[in-house]
Amino acid sequence: MSWDWNVVDDFMPRFWDGVLVTLQALAIGTLIAFALGLVWALAQRSAQAWVRWPVVAVTEFIRNTPLLVQLFFLFYVVPNFGPSMSPLTTGIVGLGLHYSTYTAEVYRAGIDGVPAGQWEAATALSLSKGRTWRAVILPQAIRRVVPPLGNYVVAMLKDSPMIATIGAFDMLGEAQAFSNETFTTEALTVVGVAFIVIAYPASLLIRALERRLVR
């Protein structure tokens, strides 16, 4: 089988549609994962057992079940009793929710890594709880966890094709559909390259950020 650039040309319009879906899923999914993960991490440290306990249970459950099952559940089961969302929205929520349980662990480790002396200094200065978190603990914790958080962005990119299973056609979904219709394989190669083109600069960015933040 030989390489045919005409096939690549034919694929391009759908490819760009797929890229748009992938990037949307990645960008918004990342925002959800980063924000929600922090909420989980803080809730897990709550003094109130009735806050702590359900959050631990839910995050453990989500972290220990497959993303694919969660996507199916969100798309096919949830509409029976809850909101019905488009395939793309469902995919983004699914990715963000799934990865938020991982980022929660990362934040937790970062918070635990802030020396006890920082809490004590905040107490000695009578800083309020909220001020201690916002001005002292979180800035130090988050600085520590940028590299591992960044790794999860790359991992999420690599998991993003799963949303095609509920009909949100990302680049790989588009490529697969195109290949099946045309009995060609070029589109799959194009997408493979596209993943590297997105992921590698992302890794470099994370490393650069890491060098800047760790001092």
Partner 1 sequence: MSADTNPAENTELLANPPVDGSELIRFDKVTKRFGDNTVLDRLDFSVDSGKHVTLIGPSGSGKTTILRLLMTLTEPDEGTIRVGGDYLTHEERNGKLVRAGEKHIREVRKNIGMVFQQFNLFPNMKVLRNITEAPVTVLGLSKDEAEQRARDLLELVGLTEHIDKYPTQLSGGQQQRVAIARALAMRPQVLLLDEVTSALDPELVAGVLDVLRDIARTTDITMLCVTHEMSFARDISDQVLMFDSGRVIESGPPEKIFSEPEQERTREFLSAVL
Shortest distance in whole angstroms from residue 115 CB to partner 1: 8
DSSP state of 73: I
DSSP one-letter code for 164: G
Least separation, in Å, of the C-beta of 147 and partner 1?
A: 17
Contact footprint for partner 1 (CB under 8 A): 115, 117-118, 120-121, 123-128, 131, 135-136, 139-140, 143, 215
Specify the residue, 69 or 214, whose C-beta has the smaller distance to partner 1. 214
User: Considering beta carbons, is residue 10 or 210 the nearer one to partner 1?
Assistant: 210
The minimum distance between CB 152 and partner 1, in angstroms, equals 23
Long-range contacts of 201-204 (CB under 8 A, 24+ apart): 202/150, 202/153, 202/154, 202/157, 203/150, 203/154
Query: By C-beta, is 28 or 114 nearer to partner 1?
Result: 114
Are the beta carbons of 163 and 25 closer than 8 angstroms?
Answer: yes
Pick 112 or 120: Cβ nearer partner 1: 120
What is residue 168's three-state secondary structure?
coil
Q: Residue holding tokens 């001020």?
A: 131
Helix (H, G, I), strand (E, B) or coil at 115: coil
Looking at the Cβ atoms of 32 and 111, the one nearer to partner 1 is 111
First to last CA, the chain: 53
Closest approach, Cβ 31 to partner 1, in A, equals 23
Least distance between partner 1 and beta carbon 53 (Å): 23
Please identify which residue in the block is written with the tokens 């057992």. 49
